[in-house]
A = this chain, B = another copy of it.
Amino acid sequence: MYKSLLFAPIFFIVSQSSIAQKNDSTVVREIFDAALTKGEAYEDLRSLCKDVGARLSGSAEAQLAVEWSEKKFKEYGFENVFLQPVMVPHWERGTKEVAWFKTKQGDIVPLHILALGGSIGTEGLMRAEVVPFNSLEELKKADKASLIGKIAFINQAMNPADIVTFKAYGGCYAIRGEGAIEASKLGAIAVVIRSLALPQDDFPHTGSMHYEEQTPKIPAGALSTNSCNLLAEALTHGKVELILEMDCRSYPDIQSYNVIGEIVGSEKPNEIITIGGHLDSWDTGEGAHDDGAGVIHSMEALRLMKSLKIRPKHTIRVVFFMNEENGNKGGLGYAEWVKSKGEKHIAAVESDRGGFSPRGFDCDGTTEQLKMIQAYRELLLPYGLYHFEKGYGGVDIGPLKKQFEGIPLFGFVPDSQRYFDFHHAPSDVFENVNKRELELGAGSLAAFVYLLDRSL
């Protein structure tokens, strides 16, 4: 009798725990089954890419994307569908965007170029000697006089030996962001950079760049990797003249919106888990991987939970953030707005690394919070998710950290090998997203959020 009394509670605990485990395992299986056999992700991404297209902040297409998303949220029966106003930058690429180089021998070679987002135009045809640098560091060390009246060419390549390609991207990021400032400080009249891309091909990759008040603004463009190789080769034979025309320009900030929808929590409706990606994209291609996949992952995760009648304890809120690419006004505005409303935010999950085969989740949080999600590993391993490590949440959800002390942020981690083939390039189109990979990503997000809701 004594023994029985002693062991009964232990048996009860084990038994309960094993039932819960079995239930979680069954629910996760149902989520992936639904994502792969009755998923809407692929057709929704097709519609976002083909019916709306590229959707740079401030563009008509970005506004259409907001309306497209609001309609979808309502069709899928999300609760409290809402457009949260944010003011965003408005920059337009214009109609002219061309470059050639001319060698000492008089050969003229066309180059593949895209203006960097935010760049000023060239005000007509610009012709100047081009000065090459292998890195931003090398440029910074150049003599001031050496760039006066010239065009700087920063030919810094992403390191192909980095296994996680985002690391290689991080290693080059500054040439795009700071290249115009540093070149201008030395007197350059324009800067062209090597696209932040791993393949050797003809696609230039755009992206945001910055100016600073005290330094004259100069035009900035990205050349395709093939174009950079051609130009670099020509430069080994002598002086080269670069001929450049871009008529991009900035306009006053414009009204736009984050798009919001929810499943209201059954037990703690006032405690919110945000999941999302960014609705805006660069203006080339279709923003299919960046970040069409991420917003579709997030919307599909909520839709899957609804379709499987999973009622979370906490409120799960999907947010399609506006303007991640060139200002993060959506992410910043959201965090400030929810704080000002007195909301309680307990976690956030972002998908902004493309629609590739899932590998796991990064945790920007405490060791305890990491351990919490590492406990999901066994349940998610059958679906190819093994990576649960400290890492980065995402740009859009990042500002929540400042507003909510101790909030854990999680970033969805798909395979990164192909991301920089498409990132910010005309090749970031629907056709380059694989249906199963996209669906597995949506399933992963839904399963992760389901488990997170149960853990918190």
Contacts and interface: CB of A to CB of B under 8 A. Distances in A.
A161 interface: yes
Interface in A408-448: 415, 417-418, 421, 434-437, 440
A231 interface: no
A5 interface: no
A282 interface: no
Contact of A418 (B163, B199, B434): B434
Interface in A383-424: 383-384, 386-387, 415, 417-418, 421
B163 A383 contact: yes
Nearest to A199: B435
A4 interface: no
A33 interface: yes
Interface in A47-66: none
A384 B165 CA distance: 12
Contact of A382 (B163, B384, B421): B163
A33 B199 contact: no
A119 interface: no
A36 B418 contact: no
Contact of A436 (B383, B387, B417): B417
A161 B199 CA distance: 33
A33 B383 CA distance: 29
Nearest to A35: B161
Task: Give the oligomeric copy count.
Answer: 2
B383 A386 contact: no
A160 to B, nearest CB: 5
Interface string A164-205: 010000000000000000000000000000000011000000
A339 B311 CA distance: 62
Interface in A362-391: 382-384, 386-387
A95 interface: no
Interface residues of A, number: 26
Contact of A415 (B165, B383, B415, B435): B415
B32 A161 contact: yes
A357 interface: yes
Nearest to A359: B384
A160 B417 contact: no
Given A384-B359, A415-B415, A161 B37 contact: yes
Nearest to A384: B163
Nearest to A39: B160
Contacts of A357: 357, 415, 417
A327 to B, nearest CB: 31
A359 B268 CA distance: 39
A417 B439 CA distance: 11
Contacts of A440: 163, 417
Nearest to A440: B417
Interface string A25-43: 0000000110011000000
Nearest to A438: B417
B36 A160 contact: yes
A304 to B, nearest CB: 13
A200 to B, nearest CB: 9
Nearest to A437: B417
A42 B384 CA distance: 26
Nearest to A417: B436
B37 A436 contact: no
A436 B418 contact: yes
Contact of A37 (B160, B163, B384, B434): B160
A367 B417 CA distance: 33
Nearest to A435: B199
Given A357-B357, A359-B384, A386-B386, A161 B417 contact: no
Given A163-B383, A415-B415, A421-B434, 11 more contacts: A32-B163, A33-B161, A37-B160, A163-B384, A163-B440, A198-B436, A199-B435, A357-B415, A417-B437, A418-B434, A418-B436
Q: Which 10 residue pairs across A and B have the least CB separation, nearest first?
A: A386-B386, A417-B436, A36-B160, A33-B161, A357-B415, A36-B161, A357-B417, A417-B437, A37-B161, A163-B383
14 contacts: A32-B161, A33-B161, A37-B160, A37-B161, A160-B436, A163-B383, A357-B357, A357-B415, A359-B384, A386-B386, A386-B387, A417-B436, A417-B437, A418-B437
